[in-house]
A = this chain, B = another copy of it.
Amino acid sequence: MGLGVRAAPFTYVAHALAVVAAAMVLYWCIHFRGGLAFEAANKNLIFNVHPVLMLIGFIILGSEAIMVYKVLPTVNHDTTKLIHLILHAIALVLGAVGIYCAFKNHNETGIANLYSLHSWLGIGTISLYGIQWIFGFLAFFFPKAAPNVRKSALPWHALLGIFVYILALATAELGFLEKLTFLQSSGIDKYGPESFLVNFTALVVVLFGASVVVAAVAPARLEEPQGYAPIPEN
């Protein structure tokens, strides 16, 4: 982007905001919403796994995968690539489990599935995320495309990845709004502590996501012409 800034400070800010956001979503789901469970008579506890896994598992681990080339710029490129694809795979699996918990809660309490914009964008996002992972694996890891193909595919991989990442952030914002709207309709105070906690968590996620995107597009070192890690020619 020709910004003349290094990625490193943005990765520090992102890590700090990730810890804050993770603490806030856990405090919300445990203190205000009663805790987490995969099996329970209180079906709300099954739902609570959803925001925790989507934020900490899907978004935060996915963010670490995106930033790894900037967090560990001096580490061997094959190693950072391996960390990148493993972290994205874990994020994808935890995201799928998180989505499963939302369906499980709906199905065990008779709530309709897949009618909201949150659910539509969410299904679209995790599907694109999976497709992006498979193409990335085939093109850049195994069996690996020819060097000139990889070279021309890399900017697209990064651009589509950032697009899917921003979709994931937008879906999270929609999720916070949707859940809080339901809670406020059932009587919680619109200006009370839980409403403020959820809205501020959503704002922290926006700032976190912006830091991750800037860290992803900014160069690891200022002398580099652009932000993407170079592909070795071997």
Contacts and interface: CB of A to CB of B under 8 A. Distances in A.
Interface in A174-220: 174, 176-178, 180-182, 184-185, 190-191, 195, 198-199, 202-203, 206, 210, 214
A81 interface: no
A3 interface: yes
A93 to B, nearest CB: 25
Given A156-B3, A181-B116, A185-B185, A121 B174 contact: no
A130 interface: no
Q: How many of chain A's residues touch chain B, expressed as a range?
A: 35 or more
Given A167-B206, A178-B181, A190 B112 contact: yes
A155 B2 contact: yes
Nearest to A112: B190
Nearest to A2: B155
A115 B184 CA distance: 10
Interface of A is mostly: helix
24 contacts: A1-B159, A1-B226, A2-B226, A4-B152, A4-B155, A112-B190, A112-B191, A115-B190, A116-B177, A116-B181, A117-B176, A117-B180, A117-B198, A117-B199, A117-B202, A118-B177, A120-B203, A166-B166, A169-B170, A170-B170, A174-B177, A177-B178, A178-B181, A181-B182
Given A177-B177, A177-B178, 4 more contacts: A3-B159, A4-B152, A121-B206, A181-B181
